[in-house]
Amino acid sequence: MSTFTLVSAALLTTAANALPQWGAGGWGNHPNGGGNPGWGVPGGPGGGGGRPPVAKTTYKVELGPRPYYLVQNMTEGPLRSKLESCYNNDFEVTGFTIGHRGGGTLQFPEETAQDEQAGARMGAGILECDVSFTQDRGLVCRHSLCDLATTTDILLHPELAQKCAVPFTPANATSPANAVCCTSDITIAEYGTLCGKQDAFNASATTVEEFQGTAPDWRTELYDTCGKVLTVNEYIDLVESLNNGISPPRNYTPELKTPPPAYVPMPFHGYTQEMYAQDLVDIFKNRSISFDRIWPQSFLYSDLEYWLKNDHEFGKQAIYLQEFDTPADLAAGFANLSIARAAGVNIIGPSIPMLVTVGGPNNDSIVPSDYSRAILDHGFDIIAWTFERSGPLATVKARGEYYFSSIADIVHYDGQYYDLLDVLANQIGIKAMFTDWAATVTYFANCFDLGGPQNVYT
C-alpha cells in the first residue's frame, strides 16, 4: 500500500476445474525472454515448443503447514479450540481472503504470475494487481510506479538501467547506494522483459549486482528465480484462467497507484490523473469483465469521486484506502467520514493499526479502536490491510514493525496473528483481509464461514 493522501480543503467542500499448473515452460522465464506471455504455449517466451499448461480435473485449495503452526502456537482457550476443530476440513476458495500483491508474497516475488498463482492455490477469492503506467501509457502490475530498482532486475539490463529516473549510484564514504527506476521510464514491451524479484536492495552496494540485495531472513528467496511480471491484461488473463468451473468466480481488486510527484509529476506528458483513472475502467470494460466482480482501490479521494461520477457501477465498490500515522491525520479522518459517505463511498480500507488498540480489564487485550467504530457508525464496510507482512511477532516491537505498531506492547508470539484476526473479523466485522500469505486467512475464513464482500451497494 502507498501513503494516504489527506482529503484537501477543496475536496471537503465538494472445487472446480482448470488451474494451470506451473511448469511446462510457463513460468520462471529467463531474463530477456520476451514481453508478451505465452503462458507456456508454443511460441511464448521460454515456451519454445512446450505443451500448454496441464489442467487439473478438480481444484483443491492447499494451505500447507503455516495455519496449523499458528494455531498450535496460540494460548489455550475458545478461539484455539474452534480453530483446532477445523484441522481436517476441506477448504474452499473464499472472497474474505484477498491476495495482497498476489497473495503468496511472503515467499514469492510480488506482483508476478507465480505470486498470483500461489495466492490462488491457497484459496484467495480476490487477487490484487497494483496498477502503474508505462512510458507509452500501458497499464502494468507494480506496487509503486518507481520501485523497479528493488523489485525487478532492471539494473541488470544496461539498456534499460540508463533510462531510470535516478541511475544507479554506488555507495561511498558519505552516501548509500541509490537508484530509482519507474515504470514510466520504459515502454510496456520493455517492462515485459524484466524479472520480478523479492523486494530488496543493498545500501552498501558498489555494483548493480550487489544492489540486488537480500530479502528479510523471515521471507525466502527459494522461489526468487525470475518472476513473470504482468501487464493488467495479463493479470486479467490469469485470473480468468483460474475460474473454469469455479462458482462464484475469483474476482479482482486493482489499486490505482499514486504517481510519486518527485519522479512522475502529473500530468505526465499530457497524461492526467483522470485519464489514468478512466484507463483502468476501460481496460476491464473492454475485456467484458462485469463491474460487480471488481473492487477497485485508491488512496486518492479524487479517484473515487471520479469513478462515482463517471462510472458509478465501477465506483460504488471502490475501496477508499487510508493510512493515518499522526494524530492530526486521524482527527481529519474522523471529520472526513461523513463527507465520504455522503459522496457515495461505501468501503473504507484502513491499515490494521488504525483498527485495533490495547484495552480490556487488564489493559492486555487486542480491542477495536475508536476509529473502527466510527467507520461502522457511518455505515461503511471495512476491508483491512495487510496481514502476514510482519514476520515473527516476538520481534515486532524491537523492529518497529508497522502493522502491529498499535498493539506491539502486548504482542509476543506468532499465535497472536489469529487473536488479531479474530478481533478484526468477529468483533469489528471486516468484510475481507489483504494478506501476503493467503493460506493463513483462508483457514480462518473457512473455519468461521466468512464469505467476503458482496455486491450490495447502490
The answer on 162 and 199 residing in a single domain is: yes
On whether the CB atoms of residues 300 and 336 are closer than 8 A, the answer is no
The answer on 337 and 266 residing in a single domain is: yes
pLDDT at position 244, please?
77
Share of the chain above pLDDT 70, in %: 87
The answer on 233 and 219 residing in a single domain is: no
The answer on 255 and 203 residing in a single domain is: no
Task: Summarize pLDDT for 391-439 with one digit per residue, the tens.
Answer: 999 999 999 999 999 999 999 999 999 999 999 999 999 999 999 999 9
pLDDT at 361 over 50: yes
Which of 43-52, 126-135, 284-293, 309-318 is predicted least confidently?
43-52
Beta bridge partners of 244: none
Q: How far apart are CA 241 and CA 65, in angstroms?
A: 27
User: Residues in the chain, how many?
Assistant: 458
The answer on 9 and 27 residing in a single domain is: no
On whether the CB atoms of residues 409 and 364 are closer than 8 A, the answer is no
The answer on 241 and 96 residing in a single domain is: yes
User: How many domains, in total, are found in the chain?
Assistant: 3
On whether the CB atoms of residues 434 and 98 are closer than 8 A, the answer is yes
Average pLDDT over residues 59-84: 96
The answer on 328 and 405 residing in a single domain is: yes
The answer on 204 and 278 residing in a single domain is: no
Average pLDDT over residues 144-152: 98
Where among 223, 239, 264 does a domain terminate? 223
The answer on 318 and 174 residing in a single domain is: no
The answer on 180 and 155 residing in a single domain is: yes
Closest CA relative to residue 145, chosen from 236, 256, 301, 35: 256
The answer on 161 and 136 residing in a single domain is: no
The answer to whether the predicted template modeling score (pTM) of the entire model surpasses 0.85 is yes
The answer on 382 and 409 residing in a single domain is: yes
Domain that holds residue 34: 20-54
Mean pLDDT across the chain, nearest whole number? 89
pLDDT at position 362, please?
95
Q: CATH no. for residue 327?
A: 3.20.20.190
pLDDT at position 25, please?
36
Residue 248's pLDDT band (boundaries 50, 70, 90)?
A: confident
pLDDT at 4 over 90: no
Residue 58's pLDDT band (boundaries 50, 70, 90)?
A: low
